[in-house]
Structure 1
Amino acid sequence: MTPENRNLWIIASIAFVNALSFTILIPILYLYGRQFGLNDFETSLLFSMFSLAQFFATPVIGKLSDRFGRKPLLVISLAGTVIANLWAGAATAAWMLFCARILDGITGGNASVAQAVISDLTDESNRARGFGLFGAAFGLGFVLGPVISLLAQQVSLGAAFYASGAIAFLALILTVLFLPETLERRVRTNIFDLGLGTLVTGLFMPRVGILLIINLLLGTTFTMFTFAFQPYYLEVLGQNSQSLTVLFIVYGTLGVVMQTVGVPYLTQRFKLTRILFLALLVRSLSFVLMPIWPILAYFVIVTVIFSILSSLVQPIISTMISLNAKPEQQGVVLGLNASYLSVSNAIGPVLAGLMVRQTNPTTYGYPLYWAGVCTFLVLSVAIATRRRYAPAT
């Protein structure tokens, strides 16, 4: 195995463990917020505060990783995740939970740094494979994370945060002991320039800005779904958190298969834009179809089809952003991409939270309908502007 391949597998392992830490929380965060007496809208803010903090912090982390190296920033951000999860698990009041989620958001930009490591290690011919491997590792975390969450729930919902913190600590150890520094050419800039200005200027970067806008819009529609998904499944379909966790395991398994087998197979035979358009078409149709009939078997079938192709979206967009950026800009542009996904994660749950009413469970389907319509509109924009961002490869 070449050093480059070995380092790719190391960063994939770190992504996997980091994903475990994150996905342990997905099935329980909504119910954990309700445990503190939060209503649906306040619970949506619990999701949004994390994402808003991540929005501002991620480009800073990406900028600093271009200047000081990938490894130090990975270490700092993972340490923050450990502390934040332990704090959330020990929370005795809602304000403590909010503060812990904000801290986790501030230090939660490590995905963009990990993607920058992949950019450091790959060239244009195998970058899609590198991002596919990263996505597969994250997807595998989506399989095993809910399993660990299911076990932790037998103790308490708060125990899931302790498990998440422990696994983030494992990712921290892997990074410190095994990941070499991959940045060969460091960008020397004003140390006080933390990259916040790029949150605006990045939108106008040739061939990159339009992809950031598309991803921002897609992230907003997707997080409308992710927030409404849990209460719809629990309140409308009458299921429990354990079966919800099992469903996440199924989604994660399908995502791993698509990102390990599907991405290499499809990218060798089709243009990246065509793969993206197909995945977005299926995503938009799935959103609209999900709430039409409140029947469990029907819902599971639609969401399984959705999970198969929707898992292609982020690896493909990340690949196109990386291919369109200069080598010395990889940390910045991938940080911007993660940052705009974070702000979409802040917007989507709030929009969904404003649409739903606890007294009328039928309203939990409204964000799904809107997510489908809006995703189709974004697909139309992506098709109309494809000449502005489509890579030559």
Structure 2
Amino acid sequence: MRLPLVFVLTTVMIDAMGIGLIMPIMPSLIVEVQGGSLADAAIWGGILSTAFAVMQFLFSPVLGSLSDAIGRRPVLLVSLFVMALDYLVMALAGSLWLLLAGRIVGGITAATHSTAGAYIADISKPQEKAANFGLLGAAFGAGFVLGPLVGGLLGEMGTRAPFYAAAALAALNFALGWFVMRETVTDQTRRAFDWRRANPFGAFRAMARIPGIAPLLWVYFLYSVAIYVYPAIWSYFTAERFGWQPQVIGLSLGIYGICMALVQGWLLRHSVRWVGERGSVLWGQVFDFIAFGVLAFIASGSLALALIPISALGALVQPALQGIMSRRVADNQQGELQGVMTAVHALSMIISPLMMTATFAHFTREGAAIYMPGAPFLVALVLMIAGCVVFLRTTRSETLGNSAG
């Protein structure tokens, strides 16, 4: 299973690169194509991110349920092939409308995170699920490292160069998967595809009927909306507040990705053993409280860089929460659950970029009553606190360590 696992983790990494790759160059790319101010570019950046997220929201349950029916292998391979073509189209795009079309297709192809999560569930024992989902998070973090670094460094060669690099990486991973990926869906776990469960709303209803899942999905939603403040406004926030250039923005995101990968790929295993999955969720939220509160008012770029390792500790939340939910559903529902979780995350990506970029634009426009580039982090802090309250109420009867077993 080693090479297939490498392929699946690489696929998740490329999915993450689809977000991180364009972040350092997005302000320059939008101004290059459309013109206008940085505040105008932030609004268009929110629209492009939202289009990407809408497609993920609509297609994550579809691909998750489809993988339960026809298998993980065909879903992953076809998506990668189309993704490589999509990056080539974006490399050649000369208008915002073509960039928008590329983000729409990219959102569909990046919806395979649900299928990758189902594969991890297929090969994991119940007590290993949270830790192995941490590997997915680490792969996502690696994509967050490579995406911004590639985007920032190759962006010096032109705003299109990063897209060519991403197309080549997707094509190479497709070739690897073609030769090494083995199917994990068996006749015993295969389930017929049903549009009533595959559409996002039908999938939500099906998952909500499972005891204890609905409130945890709300926690995951609030967490996702809050945490997406980073990719939504980081490039604009740091350019406005600290005057950072694409290289420094890419470096900062790369540092965050490395720290996030270490937290989810290494620290999470120990955290689950020490304080359980529930405790890992709570501690991760505490670190997010600290990071958001400081970033809202920070004035020093050096301090912002120093804060990155603390903010990355918040990455404990997602895989621990994912592990809690995965253990509560049947084996033949893993793809459906992962599809719903990815759709919830995608829904947050629809809401968060528009909310965060609009907040940023409101507080940074010329003549703004209050100048506060960090205002979106206060919004994120409120959402994170709300999620923590729901989680505490939902898991009140559990002790910090009982979910470790």
TM over 0.5: yes
Partner of 1:104: 106
C-alpha distance in 2, partners of 1:74/1:388? 39
- 1:282-321 superposed matches below 5 A: 282-307=287-312, 309-321=313-325
State the one-letter code of the partner of 1:305: I
Partner of 1:336: 340
Partner SS state of residue 364, structure 1? coil
**Which of 211, 215, 227 is the aligned partner of 1:222?**
227
C-alpha distance in 2, partners of 1:60/1:96? 25
**Would the alpha carbon gap of residues 268 and 97 (structure 1) be closer, same or farther in structure 2, given more than 3 Å must change?**
same
State the one-letter code of the partner of 2:235: Q
**Would the alpha carbon gap of residues 42 and 6 (structure 1) be closer, same or farther in structure 2, given more than 3 Å must change?**
closer
Percent of pairs with identical residues: 24
- 1:232-243 superposed matches below 5 A: 232-243=237-248
The answer as to 2:277 corresponding to 1:268 is no
**Which of 344, 349, 354 is the aligned partner of 1:345?**
349
Return the offset for 1:387.
4.8
Q: Is the 8 A contact 2:141 2:257 kept in 1?
A: yes
C-alpha distance in 2, partners of 1:18/1:348? 18
Partner of 1:213: 218
Return the offset for 1:375.
0.8
- 1:42-61 superposed matches below 5 A: 42-61=44-63
TM-score, normalization: structure 2? 0.89
State the one-letter code of the partner of 1:299: A
Partner of 1:133: 135
Q: Is the 8 A contact 2:281 2:318 kept in 1?
A: no
State the one-letter code of the partner of 2:69: R
**Would the alpha carbon gap of residues 212 and 263 (structure 1) be closer, same or farther in structure 2, given more than 3 Å must change?**
same
Partner SS state of residue 108, structure 1? helix
State the one-letter code of the partner of 2:334: Q
Q: Summarize deviations over 1:117-160 as a string: whole Å, max 9, x none.
A: 01110111222221122222222232233332233112111211
**Which of 186, 190, 199 is the aligned partner of 2:190?**
186
Partner of 2:377: 368
Partner SS state of residue 306, structure 2? helix
TM-score, normalization: structure 1? 0.92
**Would the alpha carbon gap of residues 311 and 193 (structure 1) be closer, same or farther in structure 2, given more than 3 Å must change?**
closer
Partner SS state of residue 182, structure 1? coil
Partner of 2:20: 23
**Would the alpha carbon gap of residues 9 and 387 (structure 1) be closer, same or farther in structure 2, given more than 3 Å must change?**
farther
Q: Summarize deviations over 1:207-241 as a string: whole Å, max 9, x none.
A: 22222111111111122343222211001111111
The answer as to 2:142 corresponding to 1:143 is no
Return the offset for 1:194.
3.5
- Select between 104-113 and 183-192 the one with higher mean Cα deviation: 183-192
**Would the alpha carbon gap of residues 138 and 382 (structure 1) be closer, same or farther in structure 2, given more than 3 Å must change?**
same
State the one-letter code of the partner of 1:176: W
**Would the alpha carbon gap of residues 149 and 67 (structure 1) be closer, same or farther in structure 2, given more than 3 Å must change?**
same
State the one-letter code of the partner of 1:142: F
- Select between 297-306 and 91-100 the one with higher mean Cα deviation: 297-306
Return the offset for 1:78.
1.6
Partner of 2:392: 383
C-alpha distance in 1, partners of 2:22/2:61? 24
Q: Is the 8 A contact 1:49 1:102 kept in 2?
A: yes
Note the residue ranges of structure 1 that are not aligned, 5 or more in a row.
none
Q: Is the 8 A contact 1:18 1:168 kept in 2?
A: no
The answer as to 2:258 corresponding to 1:253 is yes
Q: Is the 8 A contact 1:210 1:388 kept in 2?
A: no
The answer as to 2:31 corresponding to 1:34 is yes
C-alpha distance in 2, partners of 1:342/1:34? 26
Q: Is the 8 A contact 1:131 1:319 kept in 2?
A: yes
**Would the alpha carbon gap of residues 146 and 352 (structure 1) be closer, same or farther in structure 2, given more than 3 Å must change?**
closer
C-alpha distance in 1, partners of 2:197/2:213? 21
Note the residue ranges of structure 2 that are not aligned, 5 or more in a row.
none
C-alpha distance in 1, partners of 2:17/2:95? 26
Q: Is the 8 A contact 2:288 2:311 kept in 1?
A: yes
**Which of 309, 329, 350 is the aligned partner of 1:325?**
329
Partner SS state of residue 244, structure 2? coil
C-alpha distance in 2, partners of 1:146/1:189? 37
Return the offset for 1:17.
4.6
Instruction: Count the aligned residue pairs.
Output: 389
Return the offset for 1:9.
3.8
